[in-house]
Amino acid sequence: MMALETCHASVALDIEAEKLALVSLSLSFYHGENVTACATDAQFIIKLMQSGYALPVSTSSLLLGKLTHMSWEYLK
């Protein structure tokens, strides 16, 4: 049953596209480098990726790396 659900989720949602969306997510895309909006979008993408029953191992370090690279010198 789990294999059937996984296949259905892979067809119903484009999980590979969500992985690419997570990789291309950047804090600089948000006005004023809004961390809250970026984190909300990241959570939405991760929720869609979870339907495939396997998140990439590097998901957390990828997100932390994206949220710590800011262009504003005051926070560096």
For 19-46, write each residue's pLDDT tens digit.
Answer: 888 888 888 888 888 888 988 998 888 8
Better-scored residue on pLDDT, 19 or 71: 19
Token pair listed for 53:
């029953």
Give how far the C-alpha of residue 74 lies from the chain's centroid of Cα atoms, to the nearest Å: 26
Mean of pLDDT over the chain: 76
Radius of gyration for the chain, computed over Cα atoms and rounded to the nearest angstrom: 15
Angle between helices 59-68 and 15-24 (to 10 degrees): 30
Rounded Cα distance, 43 and 27, in Å: 14
Looking up tokens 């990439």 gives: 56
pTM over 0.75, yes/no: no
